[in-house]
Structure 1
Amino acid sequence: MTRNSIRMLRIGLWSLVALAALGFVWIGLRPQPMDQREMFSTLGQGEYSLVTADGQPFTQADLVGAPSAVFFGFTHCPDVCPTTLGEIMAWQEDLEAEGETLRTFFITVDPERDTRDVLGDYVSWVPGVTGVTGEPEEVQKAIKAFRVFAQKVEQDGGEYTMNHSSQVLLFDDQGQFFAPIGYQQDHERSMQTLRDLMAS
């Protein structure tokens, strides 16, 4: 190997060392993602102040005391919300046969149209479900606290719909996040998650 080749090899090796060092520095300085356990432990916690369809206040404190399910939706929802309410009714029927009940809070992502009366009528056919609404800024606080997605989508003629998360979020009697149930998840799988929640 010639002297010039050795020199070029050394330059190449030192370049690789420098790049590796820069890589380690970048990894050390970049923001680290929040630990999942920490993220889940604070799910549902925040300074939001909402109101139920029957006029009672709803805050993070209302997640404490009994196992709960929380679902975000809206009354003009064409498919996800009525389907999920039907699934919740099936869960309630099975739980009742086992001597259990599940508190469920349906929080609107569309407070402009979903008044207390509108929400109360919408959820009235499903046992154990309480409609929750509030001022738009308070609903936004709740959306942030539960880390769900909600977005207004304009339509023709001045109408609009809402895109939103479709999971049902489960909380234990201490108000701590327990598990999600996915949209149209298998019924028996959902029931096992609910039984685990009740036993926790």
Structure 2
Amino acid sequence: MIAAVALPLGMLAWREQAERARPLVSGSLLPQPRPIADFALTGDDGRPFTRAGLLGRWTVVFVGYTHCPDVCPTTLSRLKAAKARLGADGARLAVLFVSVDPERDTPDHLGRYVRYFDKDFRAVTGPVDALTALGRQLGFVFVKNPGAEGEGYGIDHSAELILLDPKARLAGYLTPPFQAETLAADLGTILRKRVAR
């Protein structure tokens, strides 16, 4: 009887070790999640958005802007497809679009933009100095590039997906190019991961 119990327990321990060791296809997890300090941005509902808004679920952060011609809509589309592949588990994942173009991306405009991709996607923005400070914590950068006269401007920005654990700590990164199938596999891996203390 004892041997019969020991075998399943041993298999369970092996499975947990395998889950922890499973690498991500398109990125990596940090050996130890890094705490992030509080911040103050504005959500797509016009309300303040702080670190507390990240607690409770795994969050995928993507940095960009709504006038982005290619990388942003493509990445958000792939995230939508990956989330759909997760089925019911997709509800356990938050996607947060951080706009680095507060000049044009008002909360209302941001809300309409992200919900075009998925009704549960959220978006935030804020003053450039607050975005820069958050970028130093999460490892993203952005630079405004003036266009030719009369053509407006563009913004060069990091294209990685930033992974935050349910305790709102920096946990890892996924790097492009992104495909829905591999994204779904990686997101499934992190959703199964036990959160370290």
Shorter-chain TM range is 0.7 to 0.9
Give the alignment partner of residue 146 of structure 1, picking from 138, 149, 154.
138
Gaps of 5+ in 2: 1-29
Partner residue, 1:131:
123
Normalized against structure 2, the TM-score is what?
0.74
Using CA pairs under 8 Å that are at least 6 residues apart, name the structure with larger relative contact order, 1 or 2: 2
Gaps of 5+ in 1: 1-35
User: Identity across aligned pairs (percent)?
Assistant: 32
- Please state if 1:62 is matched with 2:19: no
Tell me by how many angstroms 1:172 deviates: 1.6
Evaluate the alpha carbon distance shift between residue 100 and residue 120 of structure 1 in structure 2; reply closer, same or farther with a 3 A threshold.
closer
- Please state if 1:161 is matched with 2:154: yes
2:162·2:174 contact (CA, 8 Å) conserved in 1? yes
**Letter paired with 2:56:** G
Partner residue, 2:163:
170
Q: Work out the CA distance in 2 between the residues paired with 1:176 and 1:191.
A: 21
Write 1 or 2 for the structure with the bigger share of strand: 2
1:178·1:197 contact (CA, 8 Å) conserved in 2? no
Tell me by how many angstroms 1:117 deviates: 1.3
Rg larger in 1 or in 2? 1
5 Å-filtered alignment, 1:66-145, equals 66-95=57-86, 97-101=87-91, 102-127=93-118, 128-145=120-137
1:47·1:141 contact (CA, 8 Å) conserved in 2? no
Tell me by how many angstroms 1:76 deviates: 0.7
RMSD (Å), alpha carbons? 1.9
Cα deviation per residue 1:21-51 (whole Å; 9 max; x = unaligned)?
A: xxxxxxxxxxxxxxx757x614xx2342001
Tell me by how many angstroms 1:109 deviates: 0.8
Aligned residues between the structures:
161
3-state secondary structure, aligned to 1:107 = strand
1:112·1:136 contact (CA, 8 Å) conserved in 2? no
1:69·1:104 contact (CA, 8 Å) conserved in 2? yes
Q: Work out the CA distance in 1 between the residues paired with 2:68 and 2:90.
A: 29
